[in-house]
Amino acid sequence: MQPYELSLSAAAEAIRARRLSPVELVDSVLNRIEQVQPDLNAYVTVTAEHARRAARAAENDIASGRYRGALHGIPMGLKDLIDVADMPTSASSRVRADHRARADSAVAQRLSTAGAVLAGKTHTHEFAYGLTTPQTRNARHPGRIAGGSSGGSAVAVAAGAATFALGTDTGGSIRVPAALNGVVGLKPTYGLISRHGVTSLSWSLDHIGPITRTVEDAALVLSALTGPDPRDPASLSDPAVHYHLTETTDLAGLRVGVPRNYYFDRVDPEVEAAVRRAVDQLRALGARLIEVDIPMTRYIQATQWGLMVPEATAYHENTLRTVPERYQDDVRILLEAGELMSAGDYLRAQRARELMRREWARMLREVDLIAAPTVPATAVETYRETITWGDGTTEAVADAYVRLSAPANITGVPSLSVPVGHDAAGLPIGMQLLGRPRAEDVLLRVGHAYEQTRRSSVEAPRGAPSRRADSAVRVSGQPSRAVKSGVSPE
């Protein structure tokens, strides 16, 4: 096994035990980036010399007894919405062509303090306004979408071009690409991780979180990122939390909610079967399955749009008026549409969100977490614009991908996406675990227990992307430029 194939926890243990040096690990990952970048295009910027200098410094610190912990010397990718001092933050947009960050974002600073090494900035949909990353190809099949808007981060981790990465999630943009590329993605509780220094899409829905190869790795990264930050108005006042996972797989007494409605509606049969097998595995580990009704489902899409669109337009108000031609057409049209929404529409969306939060809190008093599909279908071809479901209904691809992830953004509850298998074409399938606010420890414990029962499903990066046959999902539509944009609530 090459160093780039190691999980974060395995690499950290090898570095701590002096069986692997940070220089060896970083060189291996940089070589891997050089190998896969032409096909997958996960990175907008590769900071190779910066990474090598940081790796040498980490090696010297560790040799001198100044070991900082599990992230020390570990190479990472950061979504190109996240400021790193003296580096560009382009947000994959011509609007930001000349932008250089003056200071580190809160998360970049915390990861730097922990000793992590920046390998580069990863691609995103322009200003994160979409559920695909058009520039980037799926790590398992380059003819399929990577998901988005943190597609670059997910592909980098899945391909071995980063040991871990950070993404942002406004409507599913950590969990969607994690599921489509077969890695782990965590959207924490709203406010748990500071967003200071991160380009906003929708401030009341935005989250930051890790994308990793294992649940244990996600716990290690999350531990470095928590803690209050007065520079982010939404930051929780809770002290920093360190998440410790054990090797136990005993889930006795845990109540797992299985949705009767919504989460298994219009879902590909292979996805549903894989997720239900995973839920049955949780029961085999001692969990008690309880059917639950998801509340207010008819309002989810309207509430997501009603919050996100006007907030995004407000953020871009100045540049939309002064340099509209620098935006891609899909994003510019959405931003202009936001100017047509009334204050009443926005206030109604806020009220619906508050009612939804209350109903979810009530539901989560009956169970400890909910288990459901992350997305209703595996990764479709890059040019597809619709999915046709078994009942004959047709849905836009990006709308389909956001449908099951948006509730966690609206309510602010944490959600963890874990790989649970593949479809007949070899494309990854993800299950999401949703819990109570601040209950990341429960989600991580359950995800880790499941993961330990099927180690073979936690894949090392492949030598080359898969080019297997098409998925069983029925799709329709013609290739078009608009489809590749894949715009939907992010």
Active site residues: 79, 149, 173
How many CB atoms within 10 Å of residue 340?
10
DSSP 459: P
CB 166 within 8 A of CB 56: no
Q: What is the DSSP string of 10-60?
A: HHHHHHHTTSS-HHHHHHHHHHHHHHHHHHH--EEEE-HHHHHHHHHHHHH
Residues 6+ away with beta carbon under 8 Å from 56: 22, 23
Helix (H, G, I), strand (E, B) or coil at 288: strand
34, two tokens: 């050089």
Q: How far apart are CA 141 and CA 386, in angstroms?
A: 19
Q: Where are the alpha helices (DSSP H) in 101-214?
A: 106-113, 151-158, 175-181
Distance between CA atoms of residues 292 and 367, nearest Å: 9
Q: How far is CA 259 from CA 142, 272, 289, in A?
A: 33, 12, 10
Name the percent of the chain in helix, strand, coil, to the closest 5.
40, 15, 45
Which tokens is 394 given? 């047709």
Q: Which of 388, 361, 366 is nearest to 377 (CA)?
A: 388
Distances (CA, A) of 186 to 130, 262, 353, 393, 455: 18, 21, 21, 31, 19
Sequence-distant (6+) residues with CB within 8 A of 458 are 7, 213, 214, 419, 451
DSSP E strands in 160-237: the ranges are 164-169, 184-187, 207-212
User: For residue 417, what are its two tokens?
Assistant: 């996406």
DSSP-assigned letter for residue 285: T
* Secondary structure (H, E, C), 47-102: CHHHHHHHHHHHHHHHHCCCCCCCCCCCEEEEECCECCCCCECCCCCHHHCCCECC
Q: What's the one-letter identity of residue 409?
A: N
The dihedral through the CA atoms of 9, 15, 18, 20 has a sign that is: positive
Contact assessment for residue 4 and residue 31, using Cβ atoms and an 8 Å cutoff = yes
